Structure 1
Amino acid sequence: MTNKNHKVEHDYDVVKNVKEIKLKKDYTFFNQNPFFKLGSFFVVILIKIFVYFIYGKLFSGLRIRGKKNLKHLKKDRFILVSNHVHVLDAIWLGSLIFPRKIYVTMLQSNLGLPYVGNILRIAGGIPIPETKEHMVHFLDELKTELSKKTPVLVMPEASIRPYHVGIRKFLSGAFRFAADSDAKILPFVYVYKKPNFIQKIYSKKPRLHLHILEPVEVIQGETRQKTYALTRDKVHQIMSNYFNEHSDLKEENYETKSND
C-alpha cells in the first residue's frame, strides 16, 4: 500500500514543530467511544458554522451543485472521492454531509500537527497507517464502518495542490477500499468559477463550486489489482471530463483530448 521510496507531499509542509507519529499496536482507527463521538459532533457543528457557512459560503463564494445525489448515501455503502485543491476542501465536503457521520482519511503524519492534528482527529480524521500490521486492522475497521453505511472520504490525488487546474493522477487506495468492502464510489468535483465584481474587490482567486456526481460501481477485472486499476481509471475519466466541461478554468490541452 505504501511505497517506501516515495514520500507523499504533506498537506501542511509549511507548518513547523510537527511531531513524529507512531501508532500504538492496538490503535483504534474508528473511535467508538460515546464521549469521543459527542465531542466530535459539537466540533463539527462549530466547523460547519464558521468554516463552511461563514468562511466558505459567505466569504469564499463556495456553492454546491448536485445535492440530490447525496440521497444515495442512505441506500448503500460508499467511498467518497474528490480532487484536492484547497486546504479546507475535505472539511467543506464533510460539513456539507453533516449531520450524517462521515470519516475522512488523512496522512498519519497529520496527527503530529500542533493543535490542528487533534482537531482533525476529533472531527473525523482517520490516519492511513504506514505499516502492514496496522493496515490489516485499519481495513477490518473500515469494512465495519462501511457496513453501517457510514461514508468514508478518500482524496485519491493524495497531496494538496492549491487551485490546480484539472484532475491529477489518482493513487489506487480509495478504489481498493471500495472493491474490498463491496462499496460504491461517489465522486465530488471542485470546479472553478470566475469571481463576480464584488468578489474581485477582496480576492482575485477563482470561486470554488463543489459538484456531486452520480455513483460509480466498481469494475471487476481478472485480478484484484486489475479491478483497482480499472475502477480508478474509470472514475478519473469521469471526474476529469466533468471538470473540464463545467469549470471556467480548463486544462490547456482539453480541446485536443476531446477531439482524439
Structure 2
Amino acid sequence: MRIVLVTDRWMKRKSWKMTQIEALREELERQGHQTLLLSNWKKQKNGTALRGKRGVRSFQLYRRFGVIAAKPRDRVLQKAFEGADLIHFCSPFFLGRRGEEIARQMRIPTSASFFLNQTELPNVWDRWLQYWNDHFYSHFYRILCFDSSTSERLHTAGYQSVLSVAESVASWESFFEESIQDVQSHGYRPIHLTKFQQLFCPDLSKQKGHYFHRSGLRHLLSRLLTNCLAVLLFIINHIFFGFRVEGRRNLRKVSGGAVSIMNHMHPMDCTMVKVALMPRTLWYVSLSRNFTLPLVGWLIKALGAVSLPETAPELIAFQKQAVTVVEKGDIIHYYPEGMLSPYNVDVRPFYRGAFTVAAAAKAPIIPMTLIPKKTGLLRRLVTSKPNLVLRIGAPIYPDEGGSIRQRTDQLMEEAYLAVTGTMAKMKGTGRFYGLRKDD
C-alpha cells in the first residue's frame, strides 16, 4: 500500500508531533508499505518529500505550534498523489486543506489524524483553532488519535467521525484499510458548510435528486440571463485573458443535443465554454465543492451548473437524468479529466462519465481544447500569463451498432485523440506557451 503523509508542521527542532509522524512512517515502511512525506519544509532526511523551491512558494510563518504557512502548489500535490492508495493528513492548515481538495478531485481515499497532545489541546480548543479544526476534520469519516484522552475530548466536542486510538502498528494498518473501504463504499463525506457559507451559498439539499429540473418560466429566464452574461463574459475574458474562439463552424453540424468536453486548465474556462456555445442551452457538471464558494456558488448555479454526486446510487440517477436532458436537445458540458490543473498542457486520462451519457443518448461529443498561446510584446508589459484560445473540433458521433460500453470506449478514445492531437499540433508552432519546470 502506498500512503502519502501530508503535514504543515515540520520544523528543524524536534517536537512531539514530529516524533509521532516519524514513528508512524517508520513503522509503516517496516511493515512493507511505501510512504511519502510531503511538507512545506525544504530540508528533510532520506529525501522522502517533494521539497525545495517546488514545495515552498511564498513565505514561512512560525508560530507557537510550529506551522509553516506557504502557498501550496497544485502541480506538486498532484505529482505526489499520483498512484497513492491513501492520502493521510496530519494537520488542518494550508497544505492539508488544499491537499484534501485535490485528493477528492483525484478520487483518492483520505484520512486524517489529530496530532495535538493533551498539553496543547486545552490551550487551542477555546480559540480560533477550534473553528478551523471543526471545518477541516468534518470532511473525513475517520480520525486517528494518539491517546485516549484526545479521543474523549473530541467526542465531547461533538465530532461525528469515527475516532480511532493508535495503540500499535496493527491498529494503524486497520485504520488505513477501513478508511479506504469507507470512501470506496460510501464516497467522500459531504462537505460541511460554515454558517457564513450557508447564508451566501446555494443549498444543494433542495435538489432532492432532481439535478436538471427547471420549470418552463425558470428555464426561459435562465437562458436569457446566461446569454446576456455571455456577452459580458466575452468582453471580460478577451480583455484579461486574450480569449478568442476558433472552429465555431463545427457547431453547425450539431442540430440536437450533445455532450461537450474540454481540458480543464483555468478557473474561468467554464465561462469561455458558454461564450463558445451560446445561444444553446448549456449545463455544466461541477464538483459540489464549487457551490460552497460564497456568492460565486450562486453565480455558477445560475449559469447552469449541476453538482456531481459522490455516491454510486445518486450517480446512477444523475446519469439517467443527463441522458434525458441530452435527448431533449440541450448540451451538457463535462471536464473528463476530473480536476483543474492551472495552465497544464499535458492532457490527463479521461473518465467515462461524459461518454457514457453520449453513448446512451446516441448523441455526438463536441471536443474542445483550451490552448495557451504566447502574448504579444505590449501584453507582456501587463501580464506574464498566456492568451487563451478555445478551439472547437468536429463532432464525434457514436457507432450505430454495438453495446453502450463499446460506444463509450469508441467515443472516449476518439475524443482523447482529438484533444491531445489539437494540443500537439499547437506545440509544433512557435506560438505555444510552455510551462517552466518549477511552475
Q: Which residue of 2 aligns with 1:69?
A: 250
Structure 2 residue aligned with 1:7, among 104, 108, 125? Answer: 104
Q: How many residue pairs are counted as aligned between the two chains?
A: 242
Q: Which residue of 2 aligns with 1:168?
A: 348
Give the match's secondary structure for 1:167.
coil
Q: Which residue of 2 aligns with 1:218?
A: 398
> Are 2:422 and 1:249 equivalent residues in the alignment?
no
Q: In structure 2, how many angstroms separate the alpha carbons of the residues matched to 1:232 and 1:116?
A: 31
Q: Which residue of 2 aligns with 1:58?
A: 239
Q: Which residue of 2 aligns with 1:151?
A: 331
The alignment's TM-score, normalised by the length of structure 1, stands at 0.81
Structure 2 residue aligned with 1:44, among 210, 226, 234? Answer: 226
- 1:203-249 per-residue CA deviation (whole Å, 9 max, x = no partner) reads 11111111110011225897644543342122111210111102433
Preserved CA contact (<8 Å) 2:265 2:340: yes
1:116–1:9 CA distance, 2 compared to 1 (3 A):
farther
Equivalences for 1:50-129 in 2 at 5 Å?
A: 50-53=232-235, 55-74=236-255, 76-129=256-309
- 1:101-148 per-residue CA deviation (whole Å, 9 max, x = no partner) reads 111111123222221112111110011122233233322321221112
Q: Which residue of 1 aligns with 2:385?
A: 205
Structure 1 residue aligned with 2:408, among 228, 231, 237? Answer: 228
Preserved CA contact (<8 Å) 1:191 1:211: yes
Q: Which has the higher contact order (CA 8 A, sep 6+)?
A: 1
Give the match's secondary structure for 2:314.
helix
Report the residue type matching 1:249 in the other structure: F
Give the match's secondary structure for 2:381.
helix
Report the residue type matching 1:7 in the other structure: R
Equivalences for 1:8-27 in 2 at 5 Å?
A: 8=105, 19-20=192-193, 23=205, 26-27=208-209
Q: Which residue of 2 aligns with 1:258?
A: none
Give the match's secondary structure for 1:87.
coil
Deviation of the 1:174 alpha carbon: 0.9
Give the match's secondary structure for 1:7.
helix
Q: In structure 2, how many angstroms separate the alpha carbons of the residues matched to 1:177 and 1:144?
A: 9
Preserved CA contact (<8 Å) 1:244 1:251: no
- 1:166-207 per-residue CA deviation (whole Å, 9 max, x = no partner) reads 322211111111112211101011112110112111111111
Q: Which residue of 1 aligns with 2:128?
A: none
Q: In structure 2, how many angstroms separate the alpha carbons of the residues matched to 1:112 and 1:221?
A: 42
Preserved CA contact (<8 Å) 1:244 1:250: no
The Cα RMSD (Å) is 2.9
Q: In structure 1, how many angstroms separate the alpha carbons of the residues matched to 2:341 and 2:285?
A: 17
Single out whichever of 195-204 and 220-229 deviates more from structure 2: 220-229
Deviation of the 1:8 alpha carbon: 1.2
Preserved CA contact (<8 Å) 1:146 1:183: yes
Give the match's secondary structure for 2:104.
coil
Q: In structure 1, how many angstroms separate the alpha carbons of the residues matched to 2:204 and 2:245?
A: 37
Report the residue type matching 1:126 in the other structure: V
Preserved CA contact (<8 Å) 2:282 2:333: yes
Q: In structure 2, how many angstroms separate the alpha carbons of the residues matched to 1:96 and 1:238?
A: 18
Which structure has the bigger radius of gyration? 2
Q: In structure 1, how many angstroms separate the alpha carbons of the residues matched to 2:106 and 2:217?
A: 33
Uncovered stretches (5+) of structure 2, i.e. residues with no partner: 1-84, 87-102, 108-131, 136-190, 194-202
Q: In structure 1, how many angstroms separate the alpha carbons of the residues matched to 2:218 and 2:257?
A: 23
Give the match's secondary structure for 1:202.
coil
The alignment's TM-score, normalised by the length of structure 2, stands at 0.50
Report the residue type matching 2:424 in the other structure: N
Single out whichever of 201-210 and 37-46 deviates more from structure 2: 37-46
1:88–1:9 CA distance, 2 compared to 1 (3 A):
farther
- Percent of matched pairs sharing the same residue: 22
Q: Which residue of 2 aligns with 1:180?
A: 360
Preserved CA contact (<8 Å) 2:323 2:358: no
